Amino acid sequence: MPTSPAIVAGFDAEVARNNGYEVIELPDGRQAARSLTTGEIEPNSVSEGDCGSSWMWVRDAGDELARVQIGFTTKTGAVAYTWSYFLRNTRTGWEKSWSGWGTLALRTRWSATHYRQVDDFGYFYGSAHLTATLWTGAICVSSPDPYDYEWID
């Protein structure tokens, strides 16, 4: 399963405030969310994958149809997400992109399966970019973006 770590790339101060957090700046210049009730700081470590992971699979579904599965998991509940991905036929150069967004009720997992018509047979490369706004206000992004490569005919 091609997966990619997800890291905190910033904060949405309004979301943080609405959920009992405040966005603070740490001595080294990084931002974090501090609980207004407990004083606990999240994330408490800054390393690759500190807020979750994301994935993308591309599979042949027959008749020049690609089955694309994308998704993410987060270490804490999320309130919103965005996604985008593209497929490129490495034989013909054809490329197409798709995107979307939605809200989450503090879920820690989101996934979707799409069936996409492609231009012709060949090896297809796909890459996805996913973000989740956590209930702490942290904006969790896939980094690097997950990708996959598959023969489709």
Residue carrying the six token digits 């969790």: 140
In this prediction, residue 26 carries a pLDDT of 64
Q: How many residues does the chain have?
A: 153
Q: Which fold has domain 3-152?
A: Immunoglobulin-like (2.60.40)
Residue 25 has pLDDT above 80, yes or no: no
In this prediction, residue 21 carries a pLDDT of 86
Q: Where are the domains of the chain?
A: 3-152
Instruction: Say how far apart CA 55 and CA 112 lie, in whole Å.
Output: 11
Report pLDDT digits (tens) over 88-145.
998 999 999 999 999 999 999 999 999 999 999 998 888 899 999 999 999 999 877 7
Reported as a pLDDT band with limits 50, 70 and 90, residue 46 is very low
Mean pLDDT estimate for the chain: 85
Residues 133/105, Cβ–Cβ less than 8 Å: no
